[in-house]
Structure 1
Amino acid sequence: MTESRQFQFGEMAQALFDSEEAPAVPIQMKGGKLPSYIKDHRKRLRARFMDGGAQAMPDYELLELLLFRSIPRRDVKPIARELLETFGDFNRVLSAPKERLRAVPGIGDTVITDLKIVEAAAHRMARSKVIKRHVISSWDAVLDYCHTTMAHRDTEQFRVLFLDRKNVLIADEEQAKGTVDHVPVYPREVVKRALELNASALILVHNHPSGDPTPSESDIQMTSQVNDAAQALNITLHDHLIIGKSAELSFRSAGYL
């Protein structure tokens, strides 16, 4: 068996403050209080959110709502727009690495912490809909979870969903992190962990940061190697999902498994 060999999932080649650090437009404050136009703006945004929810707000205004708490004494609209220009959209701001967030002028630990709390809450809510649930009957929730946790990352991540004999999800674990176009994976370690968890089936999941879920040759080869190693130990590989920004590819549906 060659399962001890390292493989790399990869994409096919492809031809958007700390409260006292934000360099926002200076605000003249009297007695440490915000000017009325800033207070009124914040009040209006909060009221609109409570009345219409997130659907009633563009990404930069939703970011403003978050930044109100992190940056209590600044005009946060320019900061929200700068974050979106740097990382692209709301989800990519939340999932951006701490080092890249900190590189944005004025962003400090207070903002980064608040953004990462929101990101963690979103992941936990999505995970609660699939863990200890029957995977086949909760397939849409599984896909939603995978997209929530992986679709907006700027580097590749390889995860394994471990299932019991009744196809109930018993564990979801990150096995490896990679770069923008590949992630190292060891088939032997995947199967070893399945045995440790007494899992009877697996679903492999990894993301393509470019957004295109088309599998590369190394993706296909790696899936075959994991499948061979799993079958030798009577473990079923149900599927391998590649998560793009707005779509996913199922190896089984596409005929690769």
Structure 2
Amino acid sequence: MAEAGQGGVEKPLYVGHRGRLRERFLAAPESLPDYELLELLLFLAHSRTDVKPLAKKLLARFGTFAEVINATPEDLRRTDGVGDAAVAALKTVQVAAVRLLQGQVMNQPVLGSWDRVLEYCHARLDGQRTEQVRLLFLDSRNRLIADEMQQQGTINHAPIYPREVVRRALELHAAAVILVHNHPSGDPTPSAADQDMTLQVRDGLRAVGIALHDHLVIARGGHVSFRAQGLF
């Protein structure tokens, strides 16, 4: 289907649709349903095709806008019509969200912005299909000075070496550390191995005068704070 353009030249209907959708977004960004927000992103990848069917196909497969954005590039490519350009457009949103949250917590006292720290950790780790261990390093005023991945593991295990944690904390002149790792299963309940590893890291840091402020287990089903649960 097409509509008449200037000089009687017909334009595909999606051209007018794209202009109207952009206008609606600019007027009321929060009013767009998930599939239309995905359409806007897919415009960047498919400049000359109707992307509404692809947007709806992605939602049907993954369930929600957030799940589409958090999906791995490999999973996204398994959807017919999704190539590198579409993957780049969708994953740009995820990276941008993490950068925005990072900007809100970096060099800020974590105790005064704990909810934002948790949001940042979820943004970093939600959607990861393997366990990842991250270290948040704090200065003497509890300001976040660095966030680094320490280990990438398997679907249910990521090794951590207390000696490496201590070495890096000393290099950064950190006064405290927050240990963070994810459970891809969706259940944030700490395992016995998680608790044993936490105590080893705590004792290693304590030996050089550095505090382990907390250990957070992040999962789609929520999170667990070792400190809040009295686990160390």
Taking structure 2 as the reference length, the TM-score comes to 0.89
Of 58, 62, 81, the residue aligned with 1:106 is 81
Contact 1:92 1:153 in 2 (8 A): no
- Shift of residue 29 of structure 1? 9.9
Contact 2:131–2:157 at 8 Å: present in 1 too? yes
Cα distance between partner residues in 2 of 1:169 and 1:46 = 38
Question: For 1:29 and 1:47, how far apart are their aligned partners in 2?
Answer: 19
Equivalent in the alignment of 2:144: 169
Q: Deviations over 1:209-253 (max 9, x none)?
A: 232211111111111111111111111001011112252211100
Distance 1:112 1:181, change over 3 A: same
**Whole-Å Cα distance in 2 between the matches of residues 137 and 179 of structure 1?**
34
Aligned to 1:40: 16
**Greater displacement, 90-99 / 211-220:** 90-99
Deviation for aligned residue 1:51:
2.5
CA RMSD for the aligned pairs? 2.3
* Partner of residue 44 from structure 2, selected from 69, 75, 94: 69
What residue number does 1:235 align with?
Answer: 210
What 5-or-longer segments of structure 2 have no aligned partner? none
1:174 aligned partner, one-letter code: M
What is the CA–CA distance in structure 1 between the aligned matches of 2:187 and 2:64, rounded to whole Å? 17
Alignment of 1:130-169 (within 5 A): 130-169=105-144
User: CA separation of 1:240/1:43 partners in 2, compared to 1, >3 Å: closer, same or farther?
Assistant: same
- The one of the two structures with greater contact order (alpha-carbon pairs below 8 A, sep at least 6) is 1
**Distance in 2 (alpha carbons) for counterparts of 1:79 and 1:155:** 28
- Distance change >3 Å, CA 180–CA 86, structure 1 → 2: farther
Matches within 5 A, 1:91-102: 91-102=66-77
What is aligned with 2:28? 52
Unaligned stretches of 5+ residues in structure 1: 1-26
Counterpart in the other structure of 1:90: 65
**Equivalent residue number for residue 181 of structure 2:** 206
Partner secondary structure for residue 106 of structure 1: coil
SS in 1 for 2:158: strand
% same residue: 52
8 Å contact kept, 1:161–1:202 = yes
SS at match of 2:228: coil
Flag the structure with higher helix content: 2
Deviation, structure 1 residue 165: 1.1
User: Structure 1 CA distance, aligned partners of 2:231 and 2:21?
Assistant: 48
> With structure 1 as the length reference, what TM-score do the two structures score?
0.81
| Aligned equivalents of 1:206, 1:29: Cα separation in 2 | 53
Secondary structure, counterpart of 1:165 in structure 2: coil
- Equivalent residue letter for 2:78: A
Q: Distance in 2 between matches of 1:219 and 1:180?
A: 14
Q: Which residue of 2 aligns with 1:221?
A: 196
Q: Distance in 1 between matches of 2:174 and 2:223?
A: 25
Point out 4+ residue stretches in structure 1 off by more than 4 angstroms.
27-34
